[in-house]
Amino acid sequence: MMRPALLLPEMLLAAGALAALIGGSFVARDRQWFIRAFTIAVLVATIVAAAIQLREPATSAFDDSFAVDTATGFARILAATGTLLILAIAADEISGSPRESETYALLLFATVGAVLLAGANDLLVLAVGFLLASIPLYALIGLAATAAGAEAAMKTYLMGALFGILLLLGVTILSGLAGTTGYTELAERLPDAPRAVATVAVVALIAGLMFKAGGVPAHFWVPDAAQGATATAATFLTTVPKIGALVAVYRLATVLPTSTSWPIVVAAIAVASMTLGNLAAYWQSDPRRLLGWSTVSQVGFALVPVVAVDRSNLALPSLLVYLAGYTVTNIAAFAVSAALPQHRDLTDYRGLAARRGGLAAALLVALLGLVGTPPTAVFVGKLTTAAAAWDGGYAWLAVVVFVNTVISLFYYLRWIVPAYRDAALASSGGDHSAPPPEHPARRWSARLAVTGAALSLVVGVAAGLLWNVAAGI
């Protein structure tokens, strides 16, 4: 059955993106805020439509090629909320710039792509979602129009092309093996397929999705893009596409037979992502690049419950809770950096607590949140994902998660410590460099940082409610 009404949120986003793109051409440069207001309206409508949809029992649309269930509904709300929050950074950064309405259109397109990835119940829909989520990203990164931005866009494009081909290769092999692209039939026919070939296809598929998630082995573009792109684009591309890609990996994992040894593949990617991301983040001095590597490690943590997907009923809710916590916390951390665009070195944050208590507090909550300190949202995520892995028989993976958490603490502290050090004391104590020059903080980004940090605490404390939604209760 077609039942297109089930795809109302996606249609809203896509139509909104088109309208923003075309409408932007007819609106004067100094009135582009109108398009922003329109984008906000589209996102709010999407969230409302998705929330209403979430209350219905799970079903699927377009001949079972797009799943409409708790995971999709959650991803829709999360992706739209993430984009909505990121608009606050855009309000400061690109307001009145020549490419304002195009940016909004690209953000909306990329959001549709992420949501399609999350709901894809057919390999071809997965491929479409992948392309739709990727292509706007290249443009978003390139919009920075700086040398670093151009390099990052090029790198992202090349990586995207390579891993896109890998993904398509995986799609081709699997459909060749099973004679179908729908997940339901794949689940029935794949167990009989030759094991070695199926394993190759699975590795190719998951590696392709890792490009969108920004995890090992397709992570090389993430730190460059986080550093070189505008704050709007950097925040978006480290947050929203991950939601889609990780839910897509989850969905794929539910149909693959264990004989393809996908659990080992996913576990290896998870461990490699978290370890490599952490180690690479250690000596970064640019806060955005540091956050870029931190998001690579966060993908590793989020992949942990996927490993146990068929053995523990904690897996899906813990993944969704982790994604929710990660989204608000990561946006808060990026928003702090966006609010102080001149602070491109960790030492610039010296004495921030004395000058801007609110922003420093938001930074503290966001970074400790990313570590997984209770009672923030990521703590609940980490706890439940590790519990899910252990419950599924992967106790060692839970131990690796916490070992990596200890490792990650150090580099987040490298950012927090200067912020809470006395600017006066630090400069008198042998450090003779002048205190960082005073710049006004960007207003909306600062508000977003505080809001995001507060949300991360609220979500952590009210995790029970969120869990019930994620578990479909």
For other proteins, the binding residues (CB under 8 A) are 314, 317, 368, 373-375, 379-380, 383-384, 386-387, 390-391, 395, 398-399, 402-403, 405-406, 409-410, 413, 417, 420-421, 463-464, 467-468, 470-471, 473
Residue 354: count of CB within 10 angstroms of its CB: 14
According to DSSP, the β-strands at 66-68 and 59-61 are: antiparallel
The separation between the first and the last C-alpha atoms of the chain, rounded to the nearest angstrom, is 27
**Least Å distance between CB 355 and other proteins?**
14
Instruction: Pick between residue 170 and residue 317 the one whose CB is nearest to other proteins.
Output: 317
Instruction: Pick between residue 290 and residue 380 the one whose CB is nearest to other proteins.
Output: 380
Instruction: Pick between residue 289 and residue 421 the one whose CB is nearest to other proteins.
Output: 421
Question: Among positive and negative, which fits the CA dihedral 269, 270, 276, 281?
Answer: positive
**Least Å distance between CB 169 and other proteins?**
38
**Least Å distance between CB 386 and other proteins?**
6
Contact 426, 351 (CB under 8 A): yes
Instruction: Pick between residue 96 and residue 374 the one whose CB is nearest to other proteins.
Output: 374
Please tell me what DSSP assigns to residue 190.
G
Angle at 454 between CA 460 and CA 109, to 5 degrees: 90
- List the one residue out of 232, 363, 216, 226 whose CA is nearest residue 279: 216
- List the one residue out of 73, 47, 74 whose CA is nearest residue 60: 73
Report d(CA 417, CA 112) in Å as an integer: 39
Instruction: Pick between residue 33 and residue 396 the one whose CB is nearest to other proteins.
Output: 396
Instruction: Pick between residue 260 and residue 278 the one whose CB is nearest to other proteins.
Output: 278
Peptide bond into 4 cis (omega under 30): no
Instruction: Pick between residue 387 and residue 423 the one whose CB is nearest to other proteins.
Output: 387
SS3 179: coil
Instruction: Pick between residue 147 and residue 473 the one whose CB is nearest to other proteins.
Output: 473
**Least Å distance between CB 73 and other proteins?**
17
Instruction: Pick between residue 80 and residue 470 the one whose CB is nearest to other proteins.
Output: 470
Report d(CA 376, CA 414) in Å as an integer: 20
Residue 150, classified by CB atoms within 10 Å of its CB into exposed (0-12), middle (13-18) or buried (19+), is middle
Q: Which residue has the tokens 């991301």?
A: 277
Instruction: Pick between residue 182 and residue 263 the one whose CB is nearest to other proteins.
Output: 263
**Least Å distance between CB 402 and other proteins?**
4
Please tell me what DSSP assigns to residue 434.
P
Token output for 92: 């400061």
Instruction: Pick between residue 144 and residue 469 the one whose CB is nearest to other proteins.
Output: 469
Contact 196, 148 (CB under 8 A): no
- List the one residue out of 199, 179, 202, 197 whose CA is nearest residue 189: 179
Q: Which residue has the tokens 């490419």?
A: 99
**Least Å distance between CB 406 and other proteins?**
5
SS3 224: helix
Residue 307: count of CB within 10 angstroms of its CB: 27
**Least Å distance between CB 463 and other proteins?**
5
SS3 66: strand
**Least Å distance between CB 16 and other proteins?**
34
Q: Which residues contact 20 (CB under 8 A, 6 or more apart)?
A: 35, 38, 39, 42, 101, 104, 105, 108
**Least Å distance between CB 388 and other proteins?**
9
Report d(CA 401, CA 408) in Å as an integer: 10
Instruction: Pick between residue 87 and residue 380 the one whose CB is nearest to other proteins.
Output: 380
**Least Å distance between CB 172 and other proteins?**
39
**Least Å distance between CB 401 and other proteins?**
9
**Least Å distance between CB 470 and other proteins?**
8
